[in-house]
Amino acid sequence: MRQVKTLGLLGTGVIGGGWAARALHFGIDVIAADLKPEMEAWIRGAVANAEPALARLTSAPLPPKGKLSFTTDLNAMAAKVDFIQENIPEQLPLKQRVLAEVSRHAPADVVIASSTSGLMPSDLQKDMLAPERLIVGHPFNPVYLLPLVELVGGARTSPQAIEAAKRFYTYIGMHALKVRKEIPGHLTDRLQEALWREILHMVNDGVATTGELDESIIYGPGLRWAAMGTNQIYHLAGGEPGMRHMLHQFGPCLKWPWTKLEAPELTEQLIDRMVDGTAAQAAGRSIRELERLRDDYLVAIQQVLRQFDIGAGGTLKALETRLFNDAAAKAAARSAASDAPLRLVETAVRPEWIDYNGHMTDSRYFQVFGDAVDVLLRRLGIDEAYRAAGQSPYTAETHVSYLGEVGQNESIYVTTQVLDVDAKRFRLFHRLHRSRDDVVAATAEQMWLHVDTRAGKTVPMPGKVLAALAALAALHAGLPRPAEAGRGISMQRD
């Protein structure tokens, strides 16, 4: 199976728009194909609407954004892409017909994944050419923020197709969950369906409103579910003996008539109650407003969980590690052939980085310069494993000079020059540039000490690290000494 540089979308809609936004953000080109030409404006709008939240998800260095194109020719799209994600309506005969047709135009090593929320991949493979590359890749809305994708193979799916899909989805920051056996509804939708049936019963019976039922999740189980699933939470509920004690203690409850597995009839009265209840919860806010609210809290939750390397936060941390490593590898390749300062970070000024004067606030300059150092350290071999072994560089001093202004959404990049190195110290000089004109908007001079974190004292760097730093310093020795280097703060007197 091939490396994915271009993603083809077979159908657009809400899910297709989510796939497009996520793929483009992580440097994958997208060709969106839909028989309705008006869907081009729709998908471009969906991508634009997702971008503010995606921009806040991580500050790790990202590749250049992918390019989005649109066609109404499904077969032409299939012939040009490296991976196809199908997002057409949940009608089995329709999906079978379209997948069979498209499979005759897509090269045999192109994985074709269906976003279906419940259909069986063995049924979707019917009449396909090279059916072994068909899988289910079932995401969750919003696809651009929720990392889960369920991977389900059919009777004729090859292990190579599953592994290729897993590599691609992981590359764009997703958690690929392989489902052991194909089953209608896969895993997550079956669990959601059980909860949904109970909601409909309780609304139908007048037990609770939609708002009250949502509150019962928001303020309780929902918070726990963000990082630990039901099984692990119930394991904790058993105390020190764990799940065994929990099942013995609460098992008899399973015989009580608490739940109703059969769904109630969807009468007009029940439909009205559901519509009225959710409209009251919206409180006049539009769908787009509610989407932005949802996106904001999903970003915040994942960033919090990242600190604990758990749940979706673990997926985000793994993505950032890969992005930083990729940036370090690129910096190493550039530095090997040039004596120019290292170009380590390329990013854009996020809306939340803006101060009351409409420009990037002070603390964010430190963050961006810190990101540049993270890339440099990885290039030197100083990573999580290195720090876990008990050694790490510590900042001893930083002097930032603000020379220009950068505004919201402005593209910026950082270059780094190694000024001095000895066994226990190194001195760096960073420049933050505006991409549009390469003007230097800020500089930062830093002194770093190499520390034994357990002993709490400076120690010599390992030979490989010291040699790599010394080589960079030698490369940069011919560069002009920055005028700001070594400068203190003073007030000129006339």
Residues 369 and 279 grouped into a single domain: no
Residues 203 and 179 grouped into a single domain: no
Q: Both tokens of residue 241?
A: 């003996």
Query: How many domains is the chain partitioned into structurally?
Result: 3
SS3 state of residue 34: coil
Residues 166 and 274 grouped into a single domain: no
SS3 state of residue 305: helix
Domain assignment present for residue 397? The answer is yes
User: How far apart, in whole angstroms, are the C-alpha atoms of residue 443 and residue 487?
Assistant: 12
Domain assignment present for residue 309? The answer is no
Which one-letter amino acid corresponds to residue 228?
Answer: M
User: What beta strand segments (E) does 234-371 contain?
Assistant: 342-348
Domain assignment present for residue 146? The answer is yes
Domain containing 150: what range?
6-185
Q: Which residues of 158-186 are buried (b: 16+ CB within 10 A; e: fewer)?
A: beebbebbbebbbbbbbbbbebeebeebb
Residues 199 and 177 grouped into a single domain: no
Residues 181 and 193 grouped into a single domain: no
Residues 400 and 276 grouped into a single domain: no
Residues 110 and 226 grouped into a single domain: no
Using the 3D structure, point to which of 138, 164, 185 is the last residue of a domain.
185
Cβ partners under 8 Å of residue 25, min gap 6: 51, 54, 62, 65, 66, 144
| pLDDT digits (tens), the chain, 494 positions | 789 999 999 999 899 999 999 999 999 999 999 999 999 999 999 999 998 889 888 878 888 899 999 999 999 999 999 999 999 999 999 999 999 999 999 999 999 999 999 999 999 999 999 999 999 999 998 999 999 999 999 999 999 999 999 999 999 999 999 999 999 999 999 999 989 999 999 999 999 999 999 999 988 888 888 877 777 777 777 778 777 877 777 777 767 777 777 878 888 988 888 788 888 888 888 888 888 888 888 888 898 898 888 888 899 999 988 888 888 777 777 766 667 898 888 888 888 888 888 899 999 999 999 999 998 998 899 988 999 999 999 999 999 999 999 998 888 999 999 999 999 999 999 999 999 999 999 999 999 999 999 999 999 999 999 999 999 999 899 899 998 888 877 776 66
User: What beta strand segments (E) does 25-139 contain?
Assistant: 29-33, 68-71, 83-86, 111-114, 134-138
* pLDDT of res. 218: 87
Pairing of strands 425-434, 440-452: antiparallel
User: How far apart, in whole angstroms, are the C-alpha atoms of residue 467 and residue 421?
Assistant: 10
CATH number at residue 50: 3.40.50.720
Residues 201 and 115 grouped into a single domain: no
User: How far apart, in whole angstroms, are the C-alpha atoms of residue 17 and residue 21?
Assistant: 6
Query: Helical H runs in 311-360?
Result: 311-336
Which one-letter amino acid corresponds to residue 195?
Answer: L
Residues 88 and 211 grouped into a single domain: no
Residues 143 and 44 grouped into a single domain: yes
* pLDDT of res. 246: 72
Cβ partners under 8 Å of residue 128, min gap 6: 99, 100, 103, 112, 134
* pLDDT of res. 30: 97
Domain assignment present for residue 322? The answer is no
Q: How far is CA 353 from CA 56, 59, 316, 358, 381, in A?
A: 10, 11, 20, 9, 30
Using the 3D structure, point to which of 284, 317, 347 is the last residue of a domain.
284
Using the 3D structure, point to which of 135, 163, 185 is the last residue of a domain.
185
CA angle 132, 101, 136 (to 5 degrees): 40
Which one-letter amino acid corresponds to residue 183?
Answer: I
Cβ partners under 8 Å of residue 405, min gap 6: 359, 360, 441
CATH number at residue 366: 3.10.129.10
